[in-house]
């Protein structure tokens, strides 16, 4: 127990981890939530992914103190966790042949049909294109932010985004 | 949509704003002269806007709940506290125990395999428990005039004499 008290005291003295961490979470929670929701299409699951992302971030917070680094890191981890969860869900869907509702309930019927088509086409895209497309649609993420999150050059982000949108437009013609 | 076949692909790139400046200039010249391509461009732009709106809905369709941040920070601190309450040496001790157990199991003398025995020679492993000093005698039935136990010759003679006398 004394080890815990000492460790906590030293971590608090060293950098006041909790207040800084809370500030980073406040700054990035919408982004993390949207990344997860974009992949999963389910608010409850997106929340679980977001929570898991921040728990991981807390453990590594000593190396993520810089805000830009934190933003890129949480977007990357949220994307990875959400994609993993989606793969698991697809396996379960195949096994249980259950229907999973993913459309926003508030949208009118015609829009919902179109959203379903768009989602289906997005899911057909190769993962590299899909990741760029989804991250680019997240609020406040420009090509540079997407590039930092995926650890690829900004030029690659722009070209992949163009290819993805072109494929979608042609598929939805 | 009656866009020129030759321009179709470039027209979509133009609608997505991805044509280099020189090619975009050429396209604008063509669009001024070609009503079909101009109409197709309007249609592509409409589709692009609809797609972008749909992508926005699919990604930004949900918001974190109001108490999310407080919950996440509390959960992170609880998890960290739990990790600290487990003494650092507990893991090391467990590892040493596992290694010792594995070592003990590996060091155990191996049972030497027995050579195969034919069925006629086989004896029960508990056979020896049933052995008695008189085993050989009990296994052989005496023939007529023989005894189970060998008698001293002198005694046998005297018995014979006694019988005759009687």
Residue B166 pLDDT:
39
Q: Which residues of A touch B87 (CB under 8 A)?
A: 3
Return the DSSP state at A61.
G
CB atoms within 10 A of CB B2: 9
Residue A100 pLDDT:
46
Would you list the DSSP string of chain A?
-HHHHHHHHHHHHHH-HHHHHHHHHHHHHHHHHHHHHHHH--HHHHHHHHHHHHHHHHHTGGG--SHHHHHHHHHHHHHHHHHHHHHHHHHHHHHH------S-TTS-HHHHHHHHHHHHHHHHS-HHHHHHHHHHHSTT--HHHHHHHHTS-HHHHHHHHHHHHHHHHHHT-
Interface-testing mutation among A2, A3, A11, A123, with chain B (most B C-beta atoms within 10 A): A3
- A114 and B50 in contact by Cβ < 8 A? yes
* Cα–Cα distance for residue pair A87/A103, rounded to 1 Å: 18
Q: Which residues of B touch A22 (CB under 8 A)?
A: 69, 73
Residue B137 pLDDT:
66
Listed as ranges, residues in chain B with pLDDT below 50 are 162, 164-166
Q: Is A37 on the interface with B (CB under 8 A)?
A: yes
* Cα–Cα distance for residue pair B49/B57, rounded to 1 Å: 12
Which of B48, B79, B84 is opposite residue A169, by nearest beta carbon? B48
pLDDT band, very low/low/confident/very high, at A1 (cuts 50, 70, 90): very low
For chain A, which domains are there?
1-102 (1.10.1740.10), 103-173 (1.10.10.10)
Q: Which residues of B touch A119 (CB under 8 A)?
A: 58
> Would the pLDDT of A53 be above 60?
yes
Q: Is A43 on the interface with B (CB under 8 A)?
A: yes
Segment A118-143 shows an average pLDDT of: 93
The pLDDT tens digits for A84-125 are 998 888 777 666 544 444 455 566 777 888 999 999 999 999
* Cα–Cα distance for residue pair A134/A146, rounded to 1 Å: 10
Segments making up each domain of chain B, as ranges: 1-85
The pLDDT tens digits for A5-52 are 554 455 454 444 567 889 999 999 999 999 999 999 888 999 999 999
Q: Which residues of B touch A4 (CB under 8 A)?
A: 81, 84-85
Segment A151-155 shows an average pLDDT of: 95
Residue A104 pLDDT:
55
């Amino acid at each position: 127990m004394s080890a815990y008290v000492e460790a906590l005291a030293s971590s608090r003295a060293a950098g006041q981890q909790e207040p800084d961490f809370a500030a980073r979470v406040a700054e990035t929670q919408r982004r993390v939530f949207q990344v997860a929701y974009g992949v999963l299409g389910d608010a409850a699951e997106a929340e679980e992914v977001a929570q898991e992302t921040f728990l991981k971030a807390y453990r590594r917070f000593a190396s993520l103190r810089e805000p830009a680094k934190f933003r890129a890191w949480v977007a990357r981890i949220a994307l990875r966790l959400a994609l993993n969860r989606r793969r698991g869900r697809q396996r379960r869907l195949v096994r249980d042949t259950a229907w999973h509702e993913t459309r926003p309930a508030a949208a009118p019927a015609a829009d919902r049909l179109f959203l379903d088509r768009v989602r289906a086409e997005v899911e057909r895209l190769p993962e590299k294109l899909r990741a760029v497309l989804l991250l680019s649609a997240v609020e406040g993420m420009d090509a540079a932010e997407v590039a930092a999150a995926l650890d690829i050059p900004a030029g690659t982000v722009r070209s992949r985004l163009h290819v993805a949108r072109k494929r979608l437009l042609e598929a939805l013609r | 949509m009656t866009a020129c076949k030759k321009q179709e692909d470039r027209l979509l790139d133009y609608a997505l704003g991805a044509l280099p400046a020189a090619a975009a200039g050429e396209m604008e010249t063509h669009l001024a002269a070609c009503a079909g391509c101009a109409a197709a461009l309007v249609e592509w732009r409409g589709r692009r806007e609809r797609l972008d709106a749909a992508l926005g809905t699919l990604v930004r369709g949900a918001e974190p709940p109001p108490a999310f941040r407080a919950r996440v920070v509390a959960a992170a601190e609880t998890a960290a506290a739990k990790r600290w309450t487990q003494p650092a040496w507990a893991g090391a001790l467990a590892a040493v125990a596992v290694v010792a157990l594995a070592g003990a199991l590996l060091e155990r003398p191996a049972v030497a395999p027995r050579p195969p025995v034919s069925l006629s020679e086989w004896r029960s492993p508990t056979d020896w428990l049933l052995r008695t000093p008189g085993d050989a005698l009990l296994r052989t039935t005496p023939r007529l005039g023989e005894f189970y136990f060998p008698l001293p010759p002198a005694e046998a003679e005297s018995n014979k004499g006694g019988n005759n006398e009687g």
